[in-house]
Amino acid sequence: MMPANNGSKHQTIVRPLQYRDIDAIASLCQQASIPDPAVRAQIDRLFQQMNRWYAPFKFLNIIPTPNLTDRALLVAESDKQVRGVISVSPFNRTRSTWYVEWVSIDRQATTADQVTGKNDIGSQLLRHCFEHIVEASTWVLEVDISDNSTLALYRQNGFQPLAHMTYWEIAPELLQELAQREPDLPNLLPVRNTDAQLIYQLDTVSMPPLLRQVFDRQIHDFKTKPIQAVVGKVKQLFQQKQSVSNYVFETQRKAAIGYYHLSLDRDRQTHQAELTVHPAYTWLYPELMAQLARSCQYLPSQPLQLVSADYQPEREEYFQQIGAVRVKNSLLMSRSVWHKLREAKHLSLENLQIAEMLQSLQPSRQPLPNRIDKNEPEDLS
């Protein structure tokens, strides 16, 4: 990626992360608002690894850090100081949609014209990603609705709301109560790569068409690479983590009607669960929640956190009914990168000549005079 400069008094350069930036970026990460707890955990783990592995090489100031994942960390530098950072990653396997994980600006060390206006650092970081990550045609992000400054930054750069997200937390006492119920799930099966078609169809039918188009997921998005599966098993073994993925199979329709992915972590404050239910089978919510509660009861008592969207009224109604607590609300937003498409010239009917439009109807030669006298009968012999 090429550096991005501007002609203001405070010249800002957007560049990849370097060894010398680790401490400053870790501090900005702690100040950033990251609604998704899974992304927050991944970012924290990334900086812990970078501090552990790369600390002896910080004297190599000009060498960028190796890119161990698909995540891209870009730094905005002004007057030889880090002023801001952005973290982006591909959202799907085709890399047609990218995800803005977080943007953070050092407002104490940044001048007023770099915080607001056309030259603000946040907009420069976003525009740099839009222009240089050429494979991304759509961008998505999630922002806390109470973070007014970050929300204004995204709106200023063309992001529009997609859905309202609500994070729910189920207390350990409530999980024990839910676990006492025997779930009625006779066709609960573990998820394998051979089931990717079923999970893809369930994911497609469970969301509105606009989100389906923005996410642009394909079947291979629901498959796990063999190397990733082995690495995941090793991490679970050494880090005392557990991950469970199951789906409910409907035998008559030969389709998946429910799916959940549960991440159990002894070190994390909460367990995380991802839940997908077919809109026509909302009776599955009590059954799946009983199954999730039973899976959590063998670990230390920690709350379980799930998320719902405003297009899932049955899920939100069920969480309210069982006594789940709303912990935060966020806004899912998206932006299309239209400037990457070649615009056609504007055609106006006033600029077109009739002769050019109707060339096929123009006479090719002068007409010949009629040699038949209308007063004489026509000779048909």
Sheet holding 304-309, edge to edge: 12-16, 72-78, 81-90, 97-105, 138-144, 325-336, 160-170, 304-309, 271-277, 255-265, 241-250, 188-190
Q: Cα separation of 84 and 110, whole Å? A: 9
Q: Provide Rg for the chain, Cα atoms.
A: 29
- CATH number assigned to the domain covering 165-330: 3.40.630.30
Please tell me the predicted confidence (pLDDT) of residue 129. 93
What CATH fold (topology level) applies to the domain 12-158? Aminopeptidase (3.40.630)
The position carrying tokens 């409907």 is 250
Quote the pLDDT of residue 265: 78
| Same-fold call for 12-158 versus 165-330 | yes
Q: For the whole model, what pTM was predicted?
A: 0.77
Domain ranges of the chain: 12-158, 165-330
Please tell me the predicted confidence (pLDDT) of residue 207: 95
Per-residue pLDDT of the chain (381 residues; tens, 9 = 90+): 445 554 445 688 998 887 777 777 777 777 676 777 777 677 766 666 666 655 555 444 444 444 445 778 899 988 888 899 898 999 999 999 999 988 988 876 555 555 555 568 999 999 999 999 989 999 999 999 998 989 999 999 999 999 999 999 999 999 999 999 999 998 999 999 999 999 999 999 999 999 999 999 999 999 988 777 776 777 666 666 788 999 999 999 999 999 999 988 777 778 899 999 999 999 999 999 999 999 988 777 889 999 999 999 999 999 999 999 999 999 999 999 865 544 434 444 444 454 444 555 555 566 555 555 555 555 544
Ramachandran class of 344: left when φ > 0, alpha when ψ lies in -120 to 50, beta otherwise = beta
Alpha helices in 88-195 (DSSP H): 112-115, 121-132, 148-156, 172-179
